[in-house]
Chains A and B, each alone.
Chain A
Amino acid sequence: MPNLEHPAYPAADLLRLESLVPCRESQVSMLLSLFGERQQFSFPSIFIYGHTSSGKTYVMQTLLTTLQLPHVFVNCVEYFTSRLLLEEILIQLQSCSSGTEQTSPVHCDTLNDFVRLFKQAVASRELQDQTLYIVLDRAEQLREMEANILPAFLRLQELTDRNVTVVLLSEIVWELFRPNIGCFEPFTMYFPDYSIGHLQKILSQNHPPEYSADFYAAYINILLGVFYMVCRDLKELRHLAALNFAKYCEPVVRGEANERDTRKLWKNIEPHLKKAMQTVYLREISSSQWERLQHDGGEPGQLKGLSAHTHVELPYYSKFLLIAAYLASYNPVRTDKRFFLKHHGKIRKTNFMKKHEKTSNHLLGPKPFPLDRLLAILYSIVDNRVAPTANIFSQITSLVTLQLLSMVGQNDQLDGPRYKCTVSLDFIRAIAR
Chain B
Amino acid sequence: QQIQEDLNKQLLGNLVSFLSRSHSDFQEKTTEWTCRMKFREIPTAALVLGVNVTDHDLTFRSLSDVLQDSITPYVALLEAKDCPGIKNLMQKLMGQLMNCDIDVDSLEDEDCVQVSQNRTRCSMSSLVSWYESTAKKTDSVTPSKKRNSSSRHWQSPPVVVIFKDMESFTTKVLQDFIVISSQHIHELPLVLIFGIATSPMIIHRLLPHSVSSLLCIELFQSLSCKEHLSTIIDKLLLTSRFPFKLGGKVLQVLINIFLYHDFSVKNFIKGFQLCIVEHFYSQPLSVLCCHLVDIKKRVCSLSHDQCENIRRLPSFRRYVEKQESGKQVELLTNDSFLKVETEKLLEGLYVYHANYVSILRCLHVFTSSLPKYPLGKQIRELHCACLENRVWETEEYESSLQLARMLNKIDLVTMLQQCVEILMSSSGKEFDKTVEKLKEFLTQFQNLEAEASQEQDVSVSSQKELQKKTDLYHLQKTLLELKESRKSKKLTKFEMLRFEVVDYIDSLVRKYLVPADDRTLHEIVYFNTAAVLRGHLNAAPRTALHTALNNPHWYLKNQALKCDGGGISNKAPDICIVYKLHLECGRLINLVDWLEAFSTVVMAAEEPNADAASSDQVDDIIHARFIRAVSELELLGFIKPSKQKTDHVARLTWGGC
- How distant is the Cα of A393 from the Cα of B41 in the complex, in angstroms? 41
Q: Which chain A residues in 187-215 approach chain B with CB under 8 Å? A: none
Given contacts A286-B217, A318-B261, A415-B652, 4 further A-B contacts (CB under 8 A): A80-B176, A286-B44, A287-B41, A289-B218
Indicate if the CB atoms of A387 and B257 lie closer than 8 Å. Answer: no
Indicate if the CB atoms of B87 and A312 lie closer than 8 Å. Answer: no
Residue of A nearest to B225 (CB): A313
Segment from A26-34, A151-159, A330-338, A394-402 that makes contact with B: A394-402
- How distant is the Cα of A103 from the Cα of B457 in the complex, in angstroms? 92
Indicate if the CB atoms of A387 and B219 lie closer than 8 Å. Answer: no
Q: Which residues of B contact A287 (CB under 8 A)?
A: 38, 41, 216
From residue A381, how far is it (CB to closest CB) to chain B in Å? Answer: 14
Indicate if the CB atoms of A105 and B121 lie closer than 8 Å. Answer: yes
**How many residue pairs, one in A and one in B, have C-beta atoms under 8 Å apart?**
149
Among B33, B121, B637, B653, which residue has its beta carbon within 8 angstroms of that of A87?
B121
Indicate if the CB atoms of A315 and B46 lie closer than 8 Å. Answer: no
Segment from A256-264, A270-278, A302-310, A339-347 that makes contact with B: A302-310
The answer to the question of A252 belonging to the interface, with a C-beta cut-off of 8 Å to chain B, is no
Q: Which residues of B contact A77 (CB under 8 A)?
A: 176, 179-180
- Decide yes or no: A403 and B36 within 8 Å by CB, A78-B180, A317-B261 being known contacts: no
- How distant is the Cα of A403 from the Cα of B218 in the complex, in angstroms? 22
- How distant is the Cα of A404 from the Cα of B196 in the complex, in angstroms? 13
The answer to the question of A25 belonging to the interface, with a C-beta cut-off of 8 Å to chain B, is no
Indicate if the CB atoms of B51 and A388 lie closer than 8 Å. Answer: no
- Decide yes or no: A313 and B224 within 8 Å by CB, A283-B212, A288-B218 being known contacts: yes
- How distant is the Cα of A291 from the Cα of B218 in the complex, in angstroms? 12
The answer to the question of A37 belonging to the interface, with a C-beta cut-off of 8 Å to chain B, is no
Indicate if the CB atoms of A389 and B167 lie closer than 8 Å. Answer: no
Residue of B nearest to A303 (CB): B219
Indicate if the CB atoms of B215 and A283 lie closer than 8 Å. Answer: yes
Indicate if the CB atoms of A387 and B199 lie closer than 8 Å. Answer: no
Among B43, B176, B209, B217, which residue has its beta carbon within 8 angstroms of that of A306?
B217
Indicate if the CB atoms of A398 and B637 lie closer than 8 Å. Answer: no
Q: Which residues of B contact A235 (CB under 8 A)?
A: 213
- How distant is the Cα of A390 from the Cα of B226 in the complex, in angstroms? 22
Indicate if the CB atoms of A286 and B218 lie closer than 8 Å. Answer: yes
Q: List 29 A-B contacts (CB under 8 A).
A: A75-B183, A78-B124, A78-B125, A80-B87, A84-B121, A88-B123, A88-B125, A105-B121, A239-B213, A286-B215, A287-B216, A289-B218, A304-B219, A306-B46, A306-B217, A309-B219, A312-B199, A313-B225, A315-B259, A316-B259, A317-B260, A372-B653, A387-B540, A391-B261, A391-B538, A398-B51, A402-B51, A402-B197, A416-B652
Chain A interface (Cβ within 8 Å of chain B)?
Answer: 52, 75, 77-81, 84, 87-88, 105, 235-236, 238-239, 242, 283, 286-289, 291, 304, 306-307, 309-318, 372, 376, 387-395, 398, 401-404, 412, 414-416
Q: Which residues of B contact A403 (CB under 8 A)?
A: 167-168, 198, 202
Residue of A nearest to B200 (CB): A306
Among B33, B39, B538, B640, which residue has its beta carbon within 8 angstroms of that of A389?
B538
Among A105, A389, A401, which residue has its beta carbon within 8 angstroms of that of B165?
A401
Indicate if the CB atoms of B261 and A315 lie closer than 8 Å. Answer: yes
- How distant is the Cα of A235 from the Cα of B543 in the complex, in angstroms? 61
- How distant is the Cα of A388 from the Cα of B655 in the complex, in angstroms? 13
- How distant is the Cα of A310 from the Cα of B50 in the complex, in angstroms? 12
- How distant is the Cα of A312 from the Cα of B198 in the complex, in angstroms? 6
Indicate if the CB atoms of B199 and A288 lie closer than 8 Å. Answer: no
Indicate if the CB atoms of B86 and A288 lie closer than 8 Å. Answer: no
Indicate if the CB atoms of A388 and B657 lie closer than 8 Å. Answer: yes
From residue A19, how far is it (CB to closest CB) to chain B in Å? Answer: 23
Q: Which chain B residues in 164-202 approach chain A with CB under 8 Å? A: 165, 167-168, 176, 179-180, 183, 197-202
What 0/1 readout, one digit per residue, does chain B (389-405) give for beta carbons within 8 Å of chain A?
A: 00000000000000000
- How distant is the Cα of A307 from the Cα of B202 in the complex, in angstroms? 9
Among B46, B218, B257, which residue has its beta carbon within 8 angstroms of that of A391?
B257
The answer to the question of B262 belonging to the interface, with a C-beta cut-off of 8 Å to chain A, is yes
From residue B97, how far is it (CB to closest CB) to chain A in Å? Answer: 17
Among A52, A84, A316, A404, which residue has its beta carbon within 8 angstroms of that of B198?
A404
- How distant is the Cα of A372 from the Cα of B50 in the complex, in angstroms? 28
From residue A77, how far is it (CB to closest CB) to chain B in Å? Answer: 5
- How distant is the Cα of A84 from the Cα of B126 in the complex, in angstroms? 11
- How distant is the Cα of A395 from the Cα of B543 in the complex, in angstroms? 18
The answer to the question of B654 belonging to the interface, with a C-beta cut-off of 8 Å to chain A, is yes
Indicate if the CB atoms of A311 and B217 lie closer than 8 Å. Answer: no
Indicate if the CB atoms of B39 and A309 lie closer than 8 Å. Answer: no
Q: Which residues of B contact A105 (CB under 8 A)?
A: 118, 121
Q: Which residues of A contact B344 (CB under 8 A)?
A: none
- How distant is the Cα of A391 from the Cα of B540 in the complex, in angstroms? 8
Q: Which residues of B contact A307 (CB under 8 A)?
A: 200-201, 204
Residue of B nearest to A399 (CB): B51
Chain B interface (Cβ within 8 Å of chain A)?
Answer: 32-33, 36, 38-39, 41, 43-44, 46, 48, 50-51, 53, 86-87, 118, 121, 123-125, 165, 167-168, 176, 179-180, 183, 197-204, 209-210, 212-213, 215-219, 221, 224-226, 257-263, 538-543, 637, 640, 652-654, 657
In order of increasing CB-CB distance, the 3 nearest A-B pairs are A390-B539, A316-B260, A391-B261
Indicate if the CB atoms of A387 and B39 lie closer than 8 Å. Answer: no
Among B48, B118, B260, find the residue whose CB has the most chain A CB atoms closer than 10 A: B260
Q: Which residues of A contact B260 (CB under 8 A)?
A: 315-317
- Decide yes or no: A236 and B202 within 8 Å by CB, A80-B87, A88-B123, A402-B167 being known contacts: no
Indicate if the CB atoms of B261 and A313 lie closer than 8 Å. Answer: no
Q: Which residues of B contact A52 (CB under 8 A)?
A: 210
Indicate if the CB atoms of A311 and B218 lie closer than 8 Å. Answer: no
Residue of B nearest to A84 (CB): B123
Q: Which residues of A contact B197 (CB under 8 A)?
A: 402
From residue A314, how far is it (CB to closest CB) to chain B in Å? Answer: 6
From residue A282, how far is it (CB to closest CB) to chain B in Å? Answer: 8
- Decide yes or no: A315 and B263 within 8 Å by CB, A239-B39, A306-B217, A309-B219 being known contacts: yes
- Decide yes or no: A388 and B219 within 8 Å by CB, A84-B121, A310-B201 being known contacts: no
Among A309, A316, A389, which residue has its beta carbon within 8 angstroms of that of B539?
A389
- How distant is the Cα of A142 from the Cα of B273 in the complex, in angstroms? 55
- How distant is the Cα of A361 from the Cα of B640 in the complex, in angstroms? 32
Indicate if the CB atoms of A291 and B198 lie closer than 8 Å. Answer: no
Indicate if the CB atoms of A236 and B51 lie closer than 8 Å. Answer: no
Indicate if the CB atoms of B201 and A388 lie closer than 8 Å. Answer: no
Indicate if the CB atoms of B167 and A401 lie closer than 8 Å. Answer: yes
Q: Which residues of B contact A310 (CB under 8 A)?
A: 199, 201
- How distant is the Cα of A372 from the Cα of B587 in the complex, in angstroms? 13
Q: Which residues of B contact A414 (CB under 8 A)?
A: 637
Residue of A nearest to B167 (CB): A403
- How distant is the Cα of A256 from the Cα of B591 in the complex, in angstroms? 94
Among B46, B87, B210, B653, find the residue whose CB has the most chain A CB atoms closer than 10 A: B210
- How distant is the Cα of A148 from the Cα of B205 in the complex, in angstroms? 34
- Decide yes or no: A391 and B124 within 8 Å by CB, A310-B201, A403-B167 being known contacts: no
From residue B534, how far is it (CB to closest CB) to chain A in Å? Answer: 10
From residue B396, how far is it (CB to closest CB) to chain A in Å? Answer: 21
- How distant is the Cα of A309 from the Cα of B201 in the complex, in angstroms? 8
From residue B380, how far is it (CB to closest CB) to chain A in Å? Answer: 16
Indicate if the CB atoms of B263 and A313 lie closer than 8 Å. Answer: yes
Q: Which residues of B contact A318 (CB under 8 A)?
A: 51, 261
- Decide yes or no: A315 and B51 within 8 Å by CB, A78-B123, A105-B118, A389-B539 being known contacts: yes
From residue B595, how far is it (CB to closest CB) to chain A in Å? Answer: 22
From residue B49, how far is it (CB to closest CB) to chain A in Å? Answer: 10
- How distant is the Cα of A389 from the Cα of B118 in the complex, in angstroms? 49
Residue of A nearest to B184 (CB): A78
Q: Which residues of A contact B216 (CB under 8 A)?
A: 286-288
Q: Which residues of A contact B33 (CB under 8 A)?
A: 288
Among A286, A398, A412, which residue has its beta carbon within 8 angstroms of that of B53?
A398
From residue A241, how far is it (CB to closest CB) to chain B in Å? Answer: 11
Indicate if the CB atoms of A309 and B41 lie closer than 8 Å. Answer: no
Indicate if the CB atoms of B36 and A291 lie closer than 8 Å. Answer: yes
Q: Which residues of B contact A312 (CB under 8 A)?
A: 51, 198-199
Residue of A nearest to B118 (CB): A105
Indicate if the CB atoms of A79 and B540 lie closer than 8 Å. Answer: no
